[in-house]
Amino acid sequence: MVRLLKRQGDDGVWAGNILGLAPAKSQGIKDVGTVSQYRRLLELGVPTDERAFRLTDRVFYRILSRDEDPGLLFEYGKAAKTTPELAYWTRELIREGATAALAQAGQAEDPRIRGSAHRIATRVSQFLRSEVADRPIVRKANRSILDPEAWPPTVFSTAMIALMPNLQRERAGFVERLAAFLSKPASKRSFVIQIGRKILKPTFHLLGDPLQLDSAGNAKDLPFALHWIELLARMGVLQSSPTAQRILARLIKDCDDQGVWSPKNLRGVPRSPSKLADFAFPLEIESKTVEQRQSDVTFRLALIAKLAGWRLDYIA
C-alpha cells in the first residue's frame, strides 16, 4: 500500500493514466490507471479522508463537471488531437469510471455523483430499449465493429449502479432490463470499436454475460468472476445469471466444512487474464502458504453470501 501511495502524482493521478489496466510501454505509460489505483486503495481499507483520496477526488469531480480541458483526456489525449470524435467518446467513458470510483468511496449521495449516474443510466437505458441492442455488432468493410449508435453497459456503469442502492430503487425497471441483457450469452464474434479512423479494443464494454467457464463449472477468469458475482448480488439480480450461479455453486462445492475455499492442487493465487478485477484481487499480498492462497476467494465468497442474504455460520 505504501508503494502504491508513493507512486501517486501530486496532481492525484498515477502516471498520467486514467483507465489503463496495466502499464503500456508503447504509450509511455508506466503504471496502472488512476481509477483502478483509487479503487485498489478503497479495497485495501485506506480511510477516505486520506490526502491521496482528496487529491484524486478533485480530478474526478472536474471530470464530472464536464470540464473540457484537453489534459483530462489523459492517455487518450494524443489520439484525440487527430481524431476529434474520440474526445467526446473518451470523456463519457472516463466519466463512467470516475463515477463508479466515487460511488465506491461512499459518495453516492453527492448531487454531482447522482447527476452523473442518472445521465449514464439514461444513456444505457436508451440503448437497451433500442433495436440496436438486439444486433449491436455490424459489418463495415472487412471489420466487425460496434454499431456507432450503440452505447452498451460497461464494467464501470454496471459497478456504478451496483454501488448506488438508491439509484437502483429509483430506476428498478432499468435494473431489470440491464440484468436481462447481461444474462444473455455474449456474442462469440470478435469486434472492435471504431471512432472516426481510430480503432479501439472493447476492453470495458459488455454485450451480454461476460463470464466464461469450463465444462466443470470453473471460471476461466476467477478474480473477475468473483467481482462480477458480487456486483450482481449488490443489485439483487444474482438469480438472473445462470452462469454466475453455476460458477458460485462450483466454488461452494470446493469449500471445506468450515467454509474455507479448498480446491485441489492450489499452487498459487488465481490470476485474472483480463485484469479487470486486479484492483480488488488479491488483497493478500503474500502467497507463500496455502492459507494465504485461499483467503481472498474465501473472503469474497463470504461477502457475496452476505450480500445475497444467505445465513452465515461463523466458526471461532
DSSP 155-220: HHHHHHHHT-HHHHHHTHHHHHHHHHHHHSBPP-S--BEEETTEEE--SSB-SSB---B-TTS-BS
Q: 135-171 pLDDT, tens per residue?
A: 999 998 889 999 999 999 999 999 999 999 999 999 9
**Does the structure show a pLDDT above 80 at 124?**
yes
Rounded distance between C-alpha atoms, residue 200 and residue 59, angstroms: 25
Cell readout for 164 is 448506488
The candidate with the shortest Cα–Cα distance to 89, out of 210, 207, 198, 189, is 198
Rounded distance between C-alpha atoms, residue 34 and residue 36, angstroms: 5
More confident residue, 188 or 1: 188
- What's the pTM? 0.95
Q: What is the mean pLDDT of residues 171-190?
A: 95
Would you call 37 helix, strand, or coil by DSSP? helix
Q: 76-97 pLDDT, tens per residue?
A: 999 899 888 999 999 999 999 9
Q: What is the mean pLDDT of residues 262-284?
A: 92
User: Which neighbouring-strand residues pair with 195?
Assistant: 198
> Do 29 and 75 touch, CB atoms closer than 8 A?
yes
**Does the structure show a pLDDT above 90 at 102?**
yes
The candidate with the shortest Cα–Cα distance to 237, out of 195, 194, 178, is 178
Which residues does 308 contact at the CB level (< 8 Å), separation at least 6?
233, 238
The mean of the pLDDT values for the chain is 94
> Do 312 and 302 touch, CB atoms closer than 8 A?
yes
Sign of torsion over alpha carbons 80, 83, 87, 93 = negative
What is the Cα Rg of the chain in Å?
20
> Do 55 and 49 touch, CB atoms closer than 8 A?
no
> Do 112 and 65 touch, CB atoms closer than 8 A?
yes
Query: How sure is the predictor about 188, in pLDDT bands with cuts at 50, 70 and 90?
Result: confident
- Burial (CB count within 10 angstroms: exposed 0-12, middle 13-18, buried 19+), residue 221: buried
